Amino acid sequence: MTRIEVLFPEFCSLFADSSNVRYLERCLPDAEFVYTSYMDEPLFVTEKPDLIYMGAMTESAQEKIIKKLMPYKERIAQLISEDVPMLFTNNAVEIFGQYIENEDGSKIEALNLYPIYAKRDMMHRFNCLLRGNFDDIQIVGFKTQFTMAYGDTDKYPFIHVDKGTGMNKETVNEGIRDHNFFATYLVGPFLVLNPLFTKYLLNDVMKLDATLAFEPVIMEAYERRLKEFLDPKTQY
């Protein structure tokens, strides 16, 4: 049976990110969804889930979750190297970088699995639309965040941005892709907004023979959004 682990849903469900899981439930009605609470030992410690997911969280929850996951750092690295599928959205991406820097210069050490670091600016929220490409798949989405990520954003890029902003305003690279590890700052129901990527995730990465739920409707919405995002009048 397909098993999907959803990490810390009581903390990680901002910006409608929980809709990613709701949509997967519709696409995979026979799968088992394991909801790991903060007080639980993660399933991935002893097993290899078919997908590990974690969504957006507050800054205070982010620090708690870094502490929670730190003892499992080597296990996470092992699972990544063994091609276990993982998807992390919005500021969950920062947990796997080197550190998060506050406005006063203090730093929160992160898992240091990837050569990026985040800088917070809690007085200025950054919002934008985004359009880009992952391989031959067009990606669309939205950003809303108090941070930008810096460092070696060229090493493990996920999305090549052609409209909007990458990990920071000086790069066209957005997110992290390493083996079957995918992380992106994009918020909201990322999998609903990007049905072609969702199909790739389910069938190419997870090796399932899955059909997208509500595919005609979701594809029509995707095509409309692509057209809107490609319109020169659209403000990013």
pLDDT in tens, 25-44: 999 999 999 999 999 999 99
Mean of pLDDT values over 176-192: 95
Q: Which residues contact 47 (CB under 8 A, 6 or more apart)?
A: 3
The pLDDT value given to residue 20: 95
pLDDT tens digits, one per residue of 59-112? 999 999 999 999 999 999 999 999 999 999 999 999 999 999 999 999 999 999
Contact 185, 127 (CB under 8 A): no
Closest alpha carbon to 186 in 131, 106, 110:
131
User: Which of the two residues, 189 and 158, has the higher pLDDT score?
Assistant: 158
CATH number, domain of 173, equals 3.40.50.880
Position 185 in a domain: yes
Pairing state of beta strands 147-151 and 116-120? antiparallel
Position 47 in a domain: yes
Interatomic CA distance for residues 14 and 62, integer angstroms:
12
The amino acid sitting at 233 is K
Contact 110, 96 (CB under 8 A): yes
The pLDDT value given to residue 69: 98
pLDDT bucket at 236, cuts 50 / 70 / 90: confident
Position 236 in a domain: no
Position 235 in a domain: no
Q: Tell me whether residue 188 is exposed, middle or buried, using C-beta atoms within 10 angstroms of its C-beta: 0 to 12, 13 to 18, 19 or more.
A: buried
Planar angle of CA 25, 208, 143, nearest 5 degrees: 55
Position 166 in a domain: yes
Position 208 in a domain: yes
Interatomic CA distance for residues 7 and 197, integer angstroms:
21
Domain containing 194 equals 3-230
Position 146 in a domain: yes
- Domains of the chain: total: 1
User: Which of the two residues, 234 and 112, has the higher pLDDT score?
Assistant: 112
pLDDT tens digits, one per residue of 107-126? 999 999 999 999 999 899 99
